[in-house]
């Protein structure tokens, strides 16, 4: 069985496989090839690699221009910069101009830990999903990342993909990774509570489901890797079978998964609900795991929140 690797490294692997057969696949970096794990791509495919230097607006604008001339650009840069620093380029040059650019945000969320709020991306789901025509994906582990990227190297629409910095424990396995494009994955189906998570939080949501099961509480666990287009049917399906819904995300409480799920449930299937997220404040200093634990974003923390909601 293949080794578990960081999601960004899996992105590079898929891009290298695709680039061997498709000369239009291009990777662009903003002095970020090392942190993006894209160095092997730059070394193997120098004629399909573009370095733009520390200039993220340029990174996205150049990518859009290349796409307009038929290339399939994959700009890879820290999520905090490629979304916030380049936001207008993402909006105008990519989404509005409808160029086939796949924006890869690496080291997303609080991956950069102690580097502080300048390097955290806790606003990217909110800002990117609100751009018309921009798809937004937060895969949970390297195997789901592989499935997603195999679609991304072939389709022709703009998208933003956010992944974390470090290898994370897998949710799936190489041989068992159910995946349907733009459809959430039901990891477990239950009747008491639905836990809907995205990105690195899915692993903890899965753990919470197991903890709850041991306590006799039946939980659905939904991997909503597709923030946009959001799989609204999956949200309703999970909620219909449950008395309460918990959402979990590595993002601001504003405009992320919790907000979106609340919108859908409010319209279609009202349920008691809890939104678990990062705080609306600079996060405490620490590694990702330390930060998650501090804010209760763990299997135990999610299970406790779900129990409290059911008993409340």
Partner 1 sequence: MAELNLKKLCWKLRENLLDIIMSGKGGHIGGDMSVVEALVEIYFRQMDVTPENFASGDHDHFVMSKGHSVEALYAVLAQKGFFPLGEVLEKFSRFGSPFIGHPNNKLPGIEMNSGALGHGLPVAVGMAIAERMNSSAHRVYVVMGDGEQAEGSVWEGAMAGANYRLDNLCALVDRNHLQISGNTEDVMALGDLHGKWASFGWHVIDVADGNDLAELHSAFEEARVVKGKPTVIISNSIKGKGSKIMENKASWHHHLPTQEEYREIMADLKAAEENA
> Which chain residues interact with partner 1 by CB under 8 A?
26, 47-48, 50, 52-53, 55, 57-58, 60-71, 73, 88-89, 92-93, 96-98
In the complex, minimum distance from the CB of residue 48 to partner 1, in angstroms, rounded to a whole number: 8
What whole-number distance in Å separates Cα of residue 90 and Cα of residue 102?
10
Smaller CB distance to partner 1: residue 24 or 232?
Answer: 24
In the complex, minimum distance from the CB of residue 89 to partner 1, in angstroms, rounded to a whole number: 7
Smaller CB distance to partner 1: residue 37 or 89?
Answer: 89
Smaller CB distance to partner 1: residue 69 or 281?
Answer: 69
In the complex, minimum distance from the CB of residue 94 to partner 1, in angstroms, rounded to a whole number: 10
What whole-number distance in Å separates Cα of residue 310 and Cα of residue 225?
25
Q: Give the CA dihedral 110, 116, 118, 121, nearest 10 degrees.
A: 10
What whole-number distance in Å separates Cα of residue 296 and Cα of residue 275?
12
In the complex, minimum distance from the CB of residue 118 to partner 1, in angstroms, rounded to a whole number: 18
Smaller CB distance to partner 1: residue 64 or 273?
Answer: 64
Degrees to nearest 5, angle at CA 278 with 273 and 279: 95
Helix axes 232-240 and 257-268, enclosed angle (nearest 10): 70
What whole-number distance in Å separates Cα of residue 165 and Cα of residue 163?
7
Helix, strand and coil percent figures for the chain, each rounded to 5: 40, 20, 40
The answer to whether residues 257 and 122 touch, using CB atoms and an 8 Å cutoff, is no
Smaller CB distance to partner 1: residue 50 or 125?
Answer: 50
Smaller CB distance to partner 1: residue 93 or 141?
Answer: 93
Put the strands of the sheet holding 272-276 in their side by side order: 185-188, 219-223, 193-197, 244-248, 272-276
Smaller CB distance to partner 1: residue 54 or 114?
Answer: 54
In the complex, minimum distance from the CB of residue 43 to partner 1, in angstroms, rounded to a whole number: 18
In the complex, minimum distance from the CB of residue 58 to partner 1, in angstroms, rounded to a whole number: 4
- With b for 16 or more beta-carbon neighbours within 10 A and e for fewer, the 27-44 pattern comes to bbbbebbebbbbeebbee
Coil, helix or strand at residue 308: helix
In the complex, minimum distance from the CB of residue 68 to partner 1, in angstroms, rounded to a whole number: 6
The answer to whether residues 139 and 4 touch, using CB atoms and an 8 Å cutoff, is no
Smaller CB distance to partner 1: residue 57 or 140?
Answer: 57
* Helical ranges in the chain per DSSP H: 7-21, 39-44, 56-68, 79-80, 87-88, 124-129, 142-152, 201-214, 232-240, 257-268, 288-294, 299-311
In the complex, minimum distance from the CB of residue 99 to partner 1, in angstroms, rounded to a whole number: 8
């Amino acid at each position: 069985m293949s080794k578990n690797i960081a999601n960004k490294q899996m992105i590079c692997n898929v891009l290298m496989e695709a680039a061997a057969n498709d000369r239009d696949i291009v990777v662009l970096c903003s002095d970020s090839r090392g942190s993006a794990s894209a160095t092997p791509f730059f070394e193997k495919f120098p004629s399909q690699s573009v370095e733009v230097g520390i200039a993220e607006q340029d990174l996205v604008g150049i990518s859009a221009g290349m796409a307009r001339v038929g290339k399939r650009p994959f700009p890879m840069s820290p999520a905090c910069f490629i979304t916030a620093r380049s936001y207008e380029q993402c909006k105008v040059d990519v989404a509005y101009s409808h160029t086939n650019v796949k924006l890869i945000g690496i080291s997303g969320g609080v991956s950069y830990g102690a580097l502080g709020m300048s390097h955290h991306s806790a606003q990217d789901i909110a800002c990117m999903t609100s751009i018309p025509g921009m798809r937004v994906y937060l895969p949970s582990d390297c195997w789901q990342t592989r499935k997603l990227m195999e679609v991304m190297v072939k389709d022709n629409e703009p998208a933003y993909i956010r992944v974390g910095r470090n290898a994370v424990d897998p949710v799936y396995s190489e041989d068992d990774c159910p995946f349907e494009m733009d459809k959430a994955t039901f990891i477990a189906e239950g009747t008491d509570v639905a836990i809907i998570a995205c990105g690195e939080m899915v692993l903890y949501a899965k753990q919470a489901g197991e903890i709850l099961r041991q306590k006799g509480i039946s939980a659905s666990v939904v991997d909503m890797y597709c923030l946009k287009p959001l799989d609204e049917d999956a949200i309703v399906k999970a909620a219909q079978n449950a008395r309460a819904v918990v959402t979990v995300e590595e993002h601001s409480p504003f405009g992320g998964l919790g907000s979106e799920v609340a919108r859908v449930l409010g319209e279609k299937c009202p349920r008691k609900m809890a939104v678990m997220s990062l705080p609306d404040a600079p996060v405490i200093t620490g590694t990702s795991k330390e930060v998650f634990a501090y804010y209760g974003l763990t299997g135990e923390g999610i299970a406790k929140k779900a129990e409290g909601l059911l008993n409340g």
